[in-house]
Chains A and B, each alone.
Chain A
Amino acid sequence: LERIIVCIKPVPDPKHWDRVSLDQATMTLKREGIPNVVNPLDRQALEAALQIKEAFGGEVVLLAMAPPFAASTIREMLAMGADRAVLLSDRLFAGSDTLATSRILAAGVERIGAFDLILCGNMTLDGSTAQVPGQLAELLRIPNLMHITKIEWPDPKLCRLTQRIENGQIVWESAPPLLISVIKEINKPRYISFLGIVEADKKDLTVWSNEILQIEPNLLGLAGSPTKMAGLTMRQSRRAKEILTGEAEDLARDLAQRLVKRGFL
């Protein structure tokens, strides 16, 4: 194979999400001081790419659209085994919805050049839309499949993919090029070795701004996003929150009585 592109996204570490607060005036989330980690499913996308590379050769290129601070997260993925990385970064990209983001990634892919496969995580932790992989594939005019749990390559010209659906699965066959988004079941990502970390510093991490990509500014950021944010609220519960403590046996008896009263027994 010639090339596999793996899309990755740095996301705020979910361990610290309780520190996220709202700025009502700007309708944005305040996430200062929350460290970033690579989106967990993206590690699995990279692991899948590395396994294919080990079987058929080719280079593995990381692609991310993010602010410049994402470089350290990307280095980590280089340490895991990717060959090089491209970071798409420009103030004009800020505020892009999934369609505008996909335009930017598509321009990045086209500039990287020919590829056999694009691998993505099925969704990211923060936005959870799962929309970018499909929109990227559409803009690149290549087929795509989501919810992939298994990738087999009977030969380099044909891959066989297992897709999870409700109560079952579908096995597909497809010739490259195509885009695949993977879910958790696909593999266990390898650990990053010390040698990997040392080598990552020598690997190429290129940053492309829109001066290089040359996308019309009205297709980018807030202006280029067909969806708009009209409101943002933290979720709040209206429930009674009656909390009981005591001996387990007493609590069990109390609960059983209440279930009787409410007609469940």
Chain B
Amino acid sequence: MNAGKTDRRELWVLTEQRQGVLAEVGLELLGKARELADQGGFQVTAVLLGDRVKGLADELIAFGADQVLVAEDPALEPYRLLPYTQVLTDLIQERRPEILLIGATALGVELAPRVAARLGTGLSAHCIDLKLDDQGGLLQVVPGWGGGVLATITCPDHRPQTATVMPGVMKSRRDPLRRGQVFEAAVDLPQDQAGPRVVEISRREPQGLPLEKAEVVVAGGWGVGGAEKWVLIEELAALLDGAVGATRPPLDEGWAEESQMIGQSGKTIRPKLYIGLGISGMMHHVVGMDQSEFVVAVNQDPKAAIFEVCDLGLVADLTELLPSLIAEIKKLKALD
């Protein structure tokens, strides 16, 4: 299939969909890809795998794709690793993109290593920044050691330069007037696919305001000290029209839910206001909140690491501060 093949070097984004719903991170990556492509003279190709998903292509163009490569087959719905790997590597070997970006979702981090290993190319994980060097090589910035160290990874001799990127880090931009082309790729998959078989998929819609969309996030850590005190975190968040976030310990204790976790193995947020309460400031949490506009931290330990990464820090005992703060805000709100 040579349709759409031009002399321009291609920058590919795997735009993930499950059950016909596009993953947000794919759209964010199109935004970043657009920026890199305009700078380095690439053509942005969105790669869409699934069955009867072509209808999503226009949306991908609006978010920055020059062209959309659609691979449809019943064996690609629902997602399974082996058919996905085969179709994606076949397409890559045929069209030889320079760069391949994949969102670091459950699907993305499972797919990318297999694809890169089959192609023998380099792969970097959970990138938080992407840049181009003078030669158009991709500089991939990844957090290591819990996020305390940032490494820049390159892949000089192999193509495509492949990276998974943390959700929530790049910004998507939608322009409904953008024009682009849609191509259908020929898929040649055996009907009888080997490998694990889906028995059941269960998903539940998260309750309340999603953390990554909230303008205000009130996050609690181990220092909150108990389920009965966690209620105050929720009350403060509600007063500020914000969402509740958490570090790992509140999850383990059952005060908070998985969908509320911020950090390397949770969500990346960029609210206007972040208030961290009883959070020590371990790097694997900080990487998830470091792009917040204004960061307030409360901790009773003046040496807590969170005070190194905040705009405003209060050294105080939460059991005293939180009720006072809530009372104060209620008073101010009543004056309105």
Look across to chain B and name the residue whose beta carbon is closest to the beta carbon of A132. B113
**Count: A-B pairs, CB below 8 Å:** 238
Q: Is the CB of A99 within 8 A of B308?
A: no
Name A97-125 residues within 8 Å CB distance of B. 97-99, 102, 125
Q: Is the CB of A229 within 8 A of B117?
A: no
Question: Which of A14, A172, A225: most chain B Cβ within 10 A?
Answer: A172
Instruction: Find chain B residues with CB under 8 A from A146 CB.
Output: 106, 109-110
Instruction: Find chain A residues with CB under 8 A from B194 CB.
Output: 143
Question: Counting CB contacts under 8 A, is B198 at the interface?
Answer: yes
Give A250-262 as 1s and 0s: 1 = Cβ < 8 Å from B's Cβ atoms. 0111011011101
Instruction: Find chain A residues with CB under 8 A from B4 CB.
Output: none
Which single member of A131, A166, A225, A228 contacts B113 (CB below 8 Å)? A131
Question: Counting CB contacts under 8 A, is A197 at the interface?
Answer: no
Which single member of A97, A102, A226, A265 contacts B333 (CB below 8 Å)? A265
Question: Which of A164, A166, A231: most chain B Cβ within 10 A?
Answer: A166
Stretch binding the partner chain, chosen from B90-98, B223-231, B323-331: B323-331
Instruction: Find chain A residues with CB under 8 A from B148 CB.
Output: 17, 20, 234-235
Question: Counting CB contacts under 8 A, is A163 at the interface?
Answer: yes
Stretch binding the partner chain, chosen from A42-50, A54-62, A238-246: A238-246
Instruction: Find chain A residues with CB under 8 A from B294 CB.
Output: 262
Chain A interface, DSSP helix/strand/loop, else mixed: mixed
Which single member of B307, B317, B333 contacts A241 (CB below 8 Å)? B307
Look across to chain A and name the residue whose beta carbon is closest to the beta carbon of B308. A237
Q: Is the CB of A135 within 8 A of B116?
A: yes
Question: Counting CB contacts under 8 A, is A84 at the interface?
Answer: no
Name B152-199 residues within 8 Å CB distance of A. 152-158, 194-199
- Chain B contributes a number of interface residues (CB within 8 A of A) equal to 87
Instruction: Find chain A residues with CB under 8 A from B195 CB.
Output: 143, 174
Name A169-185 residues within 8 Å CB distance of B. 169-174, 178
A128 and B113 in contact (CB under 8 A), knowing A228-B153, A239-B310?
Answer: no
Which single member of B144, B155, B198, B206 contacts A227 (CB below 8 Å)? B155
Instruction: Find chain A residues with CB under 8 A from B3 CB.
Output: none
Give B18-31 as 1s and 0s: 1 = Cβ < 8 Å from A's Cβ atoms. 10000000000000
Q: Is the CB of A138 within 8 A of B113?
A: yes
Instruction: Find chain B residues with CB under 8 A from A235 CB.
Output: 143, 147-150, 283, 286
Q: Is the CB of B197 within 8 A of A174?
A: yes
Which single member of B144, B259, B283, B316 contacts A127 (CB below 8 Å)? B144
A145 and B146 in contact (CB under 8 A), knowing A134-B110, A168-B204, A230-B139?
Answer: no
Q: Is the CB of B240 within 8 A of A128?
A: no
Q: Is the CB of B325 within 8 A of A252?
A: yes
Give 16 CB contacts A-B under 8 Å.
Answer: A99-B123, A129-B124, A129-B142, A133-B113, A134-B110, A134-B112, A165-B18, A169-B202, A170-B78, A171-B200, A173-B199, A226-B121, A229-B152, A232-B149, A239-B310, A244-B315
Instruction: Find chain A residues with CB under 8 A from B105 CB.
Output: 165-166
Q: Is the CB of A244 within 8 A of B313?
A: yes
Q: Is the CB of B302 within 8 A of A243?
A: yes
Cα–Cα distance between A249 and B328 once the two chains are bound (Å): 9
State the 3 A-B residue pairs at the shortest beta-carbon distance, nearest first. A134-B113, A168-B203, A226-B122
Cα–Cα distance between A132 and B295 once the two chains are bound (Å): 35
Question: Counting CB contacts under 8 A, is A137 at the interface?
Answer: yes
Question: Counting CB contacts under 8 A, is A214 at the interface?
Answer: no
Look across to chain A and name the residue whose beta carbon is closest to the beta carbon of B297. A243
